[in-house]
A and B are shown apart, each in its own frame.
Chain A
Amino acid sequence: MSKEHESGMSVIVKTITRLTVGLIFLFGIYILVHGHVSPGGGFAGGVIIALSFVHLMLAYGKEVSFKKLPRAVVHFFESFGALMFLGIALLGFTSGYFFINFISKGQPFKLFSAGIIPLCNIAISLKVGAGLFAIFLALVLLKFEAEKRK
């Protein structure tokens, strides 16, 4: 199992992954940026983005996945998302109180509307996606370490 994982799965799985992983990533971004217009939002979009990287890692092995998204970048994005969310909340003090919607609301049903809500969605998705991918990495790598030690 361990060796199979190092070199990835079969050719069929790799080809299908190559065709679909970009679409999954794009769908995650769509769900995320339309979170204030249609169902979805930051949490679901972030998880779908994390799933696209999980998909890549399951099919191609961890080397390819780390080349696309190194461990340090994952940890950076996780902290950056949390700080960005808190920063948006603190920026509300410039025009009133914590978490005030200080950007102009815009027109409903437009992509650029609703003030800080899309920005919050982006922050949450960065946080959630990077965090869940980090959990996946930690658990899977722990398992392979345990197998190697046997």
Chain B
Amino acid sequence: MVDLYLLLIFMIIGAVIAVEVEDLLSAVVCVGTVGLALSMIFLILKAPDLAITQIVVEILCLIILIRATLKKDLPFSTSGRWLLNTGITVGFIGIFLYVASQALKELPAFGHPLMKVSETYLTDAVKQTGATNIVASIILDYRAYDTLGEATVLFTAVIGILAVVRRIGRKKQGEIIKEEDE
């Protein structure tokens, strides 16, 4: 339990530094430490599937962020109605904390899950699907519709990104663009 809290504190510190630091590369590295700590938390909570996925996606996101944002000076605006903005932010944080504290009372205690549905999976999954990794048998057999929807979301995201950043759509008049650098 102590190591879990230590990692959570580490994540919060990393996130705060990522927001506060001036250098963009340092901020990206701090975001990376948050993801690393999250994958270690998944390992401690006995979820190796999630830990593998988290660390791999984190590495890819980090590389993309570094390649896409490095040496690009984004304007940092501090002027404006900071009093109003801060007030609204604090108000919403208060509301969310109150609602969360009310909702978390209803949840089962940490480490004592409700075993209504998952008990069936744990006892019957290997017999019914033949897959010894029960996570895989759930996401690809019992809950395959969800995975299909998730795959559709990813497909739509990729198509959207390619449509927004492709170059061929914004050529000027008279400019000739070869097919290869589309």
Contacts and interface: CB of A to CB of B under 8 A. Distances in A.
A145 B68 CA distance: 12
Nearest to A92: B144
A36 B125 CA distance: 12
A20 to B, nearest CB: 14
Q: Is the interface of B mostly helix, strand, loop or mixed?
A: helix
B151 to A, nearest CB: 6
B84 interface: no
A85 B126 CA distance: 22
Interface string B63-91: 11001100110000000000000000000
B111 to A, nearest CB: 21
Q: Is the interface of A mostly helix, strand, loop or mixed?
A: helix
Contact of A115 (B129, B133, B162): B129
B64 A139 contact: yes
Interface in A109-142: 109, 113-117, 120-121, 124, 127-128, 131-132, 134-136, 138-142
Interface string A14-44: 0000000000000000010001111111111
Contacts of B161: 134-135, 138-139
B129 A114 contact: yes
A105 interface: yes
Interface stretch (B16-24, B28-36, B113-121, B135-143): B135-143
Contact of B136 (A41, A58, A89): A41
**Range, interface on chain B:** 35 or more
A12 interface: no
A85 B64 CA distance: 27
Given A36-B136, A99-B144, A101-B129, A135 B158 contact: yes
A128 B180 CA distance: 23
Contacts of A48: 56
A58 B63 contact: yes
B147 A37 contact: no
B151 A36 contact: no
B1 interface: no
A43 B53 contact: yes
Contacts of B130: 36, 105-108, 113-115, 117
A85 to B, nearest CB: 6
A99 B140 CA distance: 9
A124 B160 CA distance: 19
A117 B165 contact: no
19 contacts: A36-B130, A36-B131, A36-B137, A39-B48, A41-B133, A42-B140, A43-B53, A44-B49, A51-B56, A58-B67, A105-B130, A107-B130, A108-B130, A113-B130, A114-B129, A128-B154, A132-B60, A134-B162, A141-B181
Interface of B: 48-49, 51-53, 56-57, 59-60, 63-64, 67-68, 71-72, 126, 129-133, 135-137, 139-141, 144-145, 147-148, 151-152, 154-155, 157-158, 161-162, 165-167, 180-182
